[in-house]
Structure 1
Amino acid sequence: MPDRSSPDVAANNYLIALVIDRNPTRARLFSCADQSKLVNLHRFERDVEDQEQRLQSVISVKIENLQVQRTGDTTAIALVDLRRVVTTNGVRQSLTDRWQLELVDEGGWRVCGGLPL
């Protein structure tokens, strides 16, 4: 059973499933049924895969600085840094993107939206 007990747990589990494990089926366990506001996060995940093919290297994604603020009884906003790390030709490079996630408690917290900042 997926842990959606709090917005920070749901956000972290969603991001682990989507960008670290790259398991969209598992990510859906932590997201709203309406995926329309998640297109930017799915695009981010696809961009990482495209970059890996271009660079012929594995890119790891780190979840950092996850901060959640409740905006109502059943709503919350999370800010998080997603850091991409790759080593090409012996040189380690990283790029950090700041994201804002929208979460809703629907009988358990779920990620319902994501925008890069």
Structure 2
Amino acid sequence: MPPSAGSQVSRVPAQRTPPEELAPPAVAPAPRQPRRRLRTALTVIAAVVAALCLTGGVVGYLVYDRATTPDRSTPAVVVDNYLRAYLVDRNDVRANLFACDGAAEFEMLRRLRNDLAAREERFSTTMWVSWESFAVNQVDDNAEVRVDLTFSAVVDGIRQSDRQSWVFTTRLNDDWRVCSAAVAS
């Protein structure tokens, strides 16, 4: 129907739609799925490495502890270790690891070690100490250990030695310890 003379029709000029509005919106790329296999593999590898490190640390500690703990398992062993620390190495701190706590009687052994040191200085030589013939007499938690000590040195090209029998008393608390030392009568 044509418009009547009295009515007015408003006309809107035709507008062209911009092309970006006509096209469907661009789809954003799907987020990349994380590599779950790689993450799982790395987690397993990290757990295995952590377990190996922990196990290695525990084994290392146990080996170290066993290697550094003094052997005080028997009366003869504790006397042997005490003699090595006290007379050969002349290490009082190490020797105390094998000695009874408190009232230990080592005055005769102290005098012997001082005498050996004085002879070394006087004759400009080295005194060697060795021992053999451990005889153990154990009664309950006490034991008496008889040992033959040999002292030797080379003085003016001549080898000299002396042998003495000693008696060491030991006591068992948590482990064996040397409590006294004296020349055997």
Superposed structure 1 runs of 4+ greater than 4 Å apart:
none
Answer yes or no: is 1:43 the counterpart of 2:111.
Answer: yes
1:13-24 to 2 correspondence within 5 Å? 13-24=81-92
Structure 1 unaligned blocks of 5 or more: none
**Counterpart in the other structure of 1:112:** 179
- How much does 1:73 deviate? 1.5
1:61 correspondence with 2:129? yes
Cα shift at 1:80: 0.5
Cα root mean square deviation, aligned: 1.0
The change in CA–CA distance for 1:35 and 1:24 in structure 2 (over 3 A counts) is farther
Change (3 A) 1:36 1:10: closer
Of 162, 165, 168, the residue aligned with 1:101 is: 168
Provide the residue aligned with 2:75 in structure 1.
Answer: 7
Deviation at 1:36, TM superposition (A): 4.2
Equivalent pairs: percent with the same residue? Answer: 34
**What is the CA–CA distance in structure 2 between the aligned matches of 1:83 and 1:64, rounded to whole Å?**
8
TM-score (norm. length: structure 2): 0.61
- Unmatched segments (≥5 aa) in structure 2: 1-68
TM-score, with normalisation over the residues of structure 1? 0.94
CA distance in 2, matches of 1:101, 1:84: 18
CA distance in 1, matches of 2:181, 2:146: 10
Structure label with greater radius of gyration: 2
CA deviations on 1:55-83 (whole Å, 9 max, x unpaired) are 1100000112121110x211000000111
Higher helix share: 2
- The C-alpha deviation readout for 1:11-30, integer Å capped at 9, x for no partner, is 11001111111111100000
The Cα shift of 1:34 comes to 2.5
Between the two structures, name the one with larger relative contact order (CA 8 Å, sep ≥ 6): 1
